[in-house]
Structure 1
Amino acid sequence: MKRIRLGILTPSSNTSLEPLTCGMLQQLPGVSAHFSRFTVTRIALDDGALGQFDDGKILAAARLLADARVDMIGWSGTAAGWLGFDSDRLLRARITEATGIPATSSILALNELLALRGFTRMAIVSPYLEDVQRRIAANYAAAGIGVVAESHLSISENFAFAEVDEATLDAQVAQVARAAPQVVVPYCTNLYSAHFAQRWEKQYGCAVYDTTSTVVWKMLRACGVDTARIEGWGSLMREGA
């Protein structure tokens, strides 16, 4: 059986997505994840914070993954939520142009899943500042998807996102679930939350698409791997079968 190597672009201060991604892949012998970092320490809408997502820095990290001859490159991050979805479409094209390797992102994969299910009522849970959250909701509204409920924690330090505890996440999800969304999205790949998705789905009767999981789902599907083999990480792994 051919070994499959997934290349993951990672914010430098993120400590959640690597263990969570590897946890998902434990059920798939022969599939491994390989990570490359670029500097991201703060999430906000000022020029300094936005400049962290300059394509040049991301492409340098992608070229390092290409040295490992990965089968696909995924940007495990949510910046397109506030930068605009075209930013990830452009980044995907530039990564492939620079490396010759197909690429995707957490947000492109999430949006594909929303379209696949025809979801138009979404709730968002994040650690972000209020203005960042509003920008995300506005971008989805422009795409025809309503954010019917949201919960944010008003944190800007990226490292601190991983310190959000289970009780806080549970309270956020409980809050937004009262609006009866079709899907709840933990919208940050440095939230330690993806492994709670299945529990929340059973508890609230709606889909939960964590952005750390969405990019893994898309990369595996693109590489011909049946993601339904991954159990315990939520319903999204059964989508597209």
Structure 2
Amino acid sequence: MKKRIGMLTPSSNTVLEPVTSAMLHGIADVSAHFSRFKVTELTLTSKAASQFAIEPMLEAAYELADAKVDVIAYNGTSGGWVGFENDIRLCEKIKEETGIPATTSVLALNERFKAYNVKKFGIVSPAEKQIVERIIGNYAKLDLQCEASVCLGVTDNYACALIDEAAVKRMVREIAVPGVEAITTFGTNLWAAHLVEELERELDILILDTISVVVWQCLKMLDISPTAVTGWGRLFDREY
């Protein structure tokens, strides 16, 4: 029976749709479907924060529900700085309003940190320093310590997709320092997921991309083995 994954997509994101579709390409009877809501700015202003209010995201979820999707995922990382509880409330509201189970990139990442018993991590982010500091602070509340971080200071979400492959590789290598148990490429408009397998071989460290983790989580929620995804890193080598 065909299974459908619905993805809530920030409007200025041009990466997550092709990457998600590429990951799922080899899996029979699974398809991804996308619904957008307005997001253009990556800052800590009240205007930027309002982009991640539950109401517009819920409207996008209603449209995915019209397509009879089996799971809905917010393929975005704002929960990292707005607060994990915002993502939890969003998922609860989607389930309450549509009857469809939901997850997010950040909640999926948190589950993978727990599954791999990660206590010390590194973060690569296209965002500005203040956002990354907020993310690090929120993880500290979960007793997860950031050992190394690097960011580029991008405030225009669309521009995140313009960061070239060489820059992403350089940032990952920069924070692959002793003590870091896993690295997260934190941003779903960052061309990073396709580099994970190569960088893991080179650096011998687990890399958790925020598009990859939510695809992994959606497959598990559909009772489909994530190991069906190949060529995208160690994450997909195990089912738990």
Task: Give the 5 Å matches for 1:189-200.
Answer: 189-200=188-199
Specify the alignment match of 2:172 in structure 1: 173
Specify the alignment match of 1:69 in structure 2: 68
**SS at 2:51's partner residue?**
helix
Q: How far apart in 1 are the matches of 2:49 and 2:216?
A: 27
**SS at 1:185's partner residue?**
strand
What is the CA distance between 1:194 and its match in structure 2? 0.6
Specify the alignment match of 1:82 in structure 2: 81
Whether the aligned pair in 1 keeps the contact of 2:12 and 2:40 (CA below 8 Å) is yes
Task: Give the 5 Å matches for 1:1-241.
Answer: 2-241=1-240
Moved more, 38-47 or 176-185: 176-185
Q: How far apart in 1 are the matches of 2:135 and 2:26?
A: 33
Q: How far apart in 2 are the matches of 1:235 and 1:193?
A: 14
1:184-234: per-residue Cα shift (whole Å, max 9, x none)? Answer: 100000001111111111111110000011111001011011111111101
Which blocks of at least 5 consecutive residues in structure 2 are unaligned? Answer: none
Whether the aligned pair in 1 keeps the contact of 2:41 and 2:155 (CA below 8 Å) is yes
Moved more, 84-93 or 231-240: 231-240
Q: How far apart in 2 are the matches of 1:12 and 1:178?
A: 35
Q: How far apart in 1 are the matches of 2:23 and 2:200?
A: 17
Q: How far apart in 2 are the matches of 1:24 and 1:100?
A: 26
TM-score, normalization: structure 2?
Answer: 0.98
Moved more, 36-45 or 175-184: 175-184
Q: How far apart in 2 are the matches of 1:68 and 1:184?
A: 35
1:133-192: per-residue Cα shift (whole Å, max 9, x none)? Answer: 000001111110011000100010000000000010011001000244111100000001
Q: How far apart in 2 are the matches of 1:239 and 1:214?
A: 12
Runs of 4+ that moved beyond 2 A? 238-241
Aligned length: 240
Which blocks of at least 5 consecutive residues in structure 1 are unaligned? Answer: none
Q: How far apart in 2 are the matches of 1:223 and 1:14?
A: 25
Whether the aligned pair in 2 keeps the contact of 1:12 and 1:37 (CA below 8 Å) is yes
Q: How far apart in 1 are the matches of 2:40 and 2:239?
A: 34
Q: CA RMSD in A?
A: 0.8
Q: How far apart in 2 are the matches of 1:163 and 1:196?
A: 15
TM-score, normalization: structure 1?
Answer: 0.98
Q: How far apart in 1 are the matches of 2:180 and 2:203?
A: 10
What is the CA distance between 1:45 and its match in structure 2? 0.4
Whether the aligned pair in 2 keeps the contact of 1:149 and 1:179 (CA below 8 Å) is no
